[in-house]
Amino acid sequence: MSQQQLGRGPSGSGAAGPVPPAGVGSPARFVGWLGGLGCAAAGYGVFQALFGVLPDSLGGEPAKWLVAGVSGVGTAVAAWLAAALLRVRAAGAGRPAAVSARTAAGTSGPLPGVLAAAYETLVGEVTVVDDPVRGRLTGWSHSLGEGDAAPPTALSTAYGLHMMLDLGVPDGRLSTGDLVETLWRLRLPDGGWSARTQGSEARPEITALVLGALARAGSSGDRVAAEVTGCTTRFTRALDPAGRDSTHVVTTVLRGLLRAAPRSPHLPELCEALVDGALDDERREHLRCWAYRLCPPYGSPSALHTAQAVVALDRAARVLGESAGARAARQDGVRWLLACPDPRHDVCPDVTNLREEVRRPRTDDPARHEVLNVRHFTASWLVRALTTPGAREVALADGLQARWRERLDGAFAAVWAGHTDGIWSWDRGDGTELRRPMWMTYQGLSAMRAHAVWMYQPDG
């Protein structure tokens, strides 16, 4: 698969910096020195110089007085005006916050336009289907542009609901209540939810993600709690060893349940499994990080999975508190992300998009496997990990603010480069048309919002 085309976006301000001080020997420095003598002194100096050098043949003593006097007065006036101009410019340079505030009030950056364009596309691409069994379904299929032939899926509709809540639903063209009701109608007969390619058996990562969206939208607590019980009951090492060994699956379940059931007794166990699954990387100062598996064979250290683990553990720390071991592992993960050795962080291997498979034996035929192909928008995960409160705390404590900003700017540039009007596309690498999966746009918008919040400075 070819790597997504990346480039540096407008992550920094485009405003011109302050004017540097005038150098030695420059005209501005000379005029300032001349004005500093006093206007009258400057004029008198010019008068004396001219009076001494003008020839007597110019027209006698009166003519010399006239020419020298006019020149002196003119010089005095010019010096006064130049000095006044320099004082005004210096005063303006001393008030950058006021100028910046006026500029911000009169214009806006690109982010509002991107968010508005994303909202318009999402509203325009929503699908409404009258299902004979489930009733009316309002949501999105796996990718934007699939049309009415592809009915809404639970995964994409959950991501769409998250995006609508993030964007604020500025008008009534789309009802979050319809999306919530659709997710409940897409619930499997035995409880829970699955991806379109996973068949009729509920899977914990999809169930937890849907429950997180439903809880965030204010769905019935009792109804959500019942589904949480079913999800955690099925997500054990005995019943789902492949899921419990997967960093992606464990972090997805952990993030979803932190929203849907923050007091669940299963959350500390998942945190402990995630911490125990960290591995030592001798190539980056023996810092702990994560690979795609939480047990041997782990696979290679992965910026993607390390970022996913950092995000999940940081959120868990805010909700559950944090043990010393969990804190040390999470902070090592942040330091590992900051230790990328490449000179450019918008095109380095740490931001390369990845694919992985989650293979599970089918319960109806254990000899065959259910395969879930998972694609990862890696740069968006790095932005989200580096903008966690815990990551900023590590950077400040270790004196790594400049490195933190450099890594964050590079990851954000990679995220920014991948969108068109707020919608992200996945390059399938086979020369066919790009697909626009809902999950990718959700992750891209989430990264942009997180970056905007962290980079906002009220004083400009």
Query: Residue 41 pLDDT more than 70?
Result: no
- pLDDT score recorded for residue 169: 85
**Residue 227 and residue 204 in contact, taking contact as beta carbons nearer than 8 Å:** no
Query: Residue 3 pLDDT more than 70?
Result: no
- pLDDT score recorded for residue 32: 46
- Distance (Å, rounded) from C-alpha 390 to C-alpha 454? 13
Query: Residue 82 pLDDT more than 70?
Result: no
pLDDT digits (tens, 9 = 90+) for 314-346: 999 999 999 999 999 999 999 999 999 999 999
Can you list the pairs that 321-325 forms with residues at least 24 positions away whose Cβ atoms lie under 8 Å?
325/275
The string of DSSP codes covering 388-449 is SHHHHHHHHHHT-HHHHHHHHHHHHHHHHHTEETTEE-B--SSSSPPB-BHHHHHHHHHHHH
Average pLDDT over residues 88-106: 36
Average pLDDT over residues 235-239: 95
**Residue 340 and residue 302 in contact, taking contact as beta carbons nearer than 8 Å:** no
**Residue 391 and residue 334 in contact, taking contact as beta carbons nearer than 8 Å:** yes
Task: Quote the pTM value.
Answer: 0.77
**Residue 333 and residue 340 in contact, taking contact as beta carbons nearer than 8 Å:** no
SS3 376: strand
Query: Residue 88 pLDDT more than 90?
Result: no
Tokens, residue 126: 């929503």
Q: Is the peptide bond before 297 cis (omega within 30 degrees of 0)?
A: yes
- Distance (Å, rounded) from C-alpha 354 to C-alpha 373? 11
- Pairing verdict, β 287-289 and 354-361: unpaired
**Residue 447 and residue 380 in contact, taking contact as beta carbons nearer than 8 Å:** yes
Average pLDDT over residues 267-280: 98
What does pLDDT average to over the chain? 83
- pLDDT score recorded for residue 44: 55
- pLDDT score recorded for residue 30: 45
SS3 288: strand
Amino acid at 329: A
pLDDT digits (tens, 9 = 90+) for 5-25: 333 333 333 333 333 333 334
Query: Residue 122 pLDDT more than 50?
Result: yes
For residue 5, the 8-state DSSP code is P
pLDDT digits (tens, 9 = 90+) for 341-389: 999 999 999 999 999 999 998 887 888 899 999 999 999 999 999 999 9
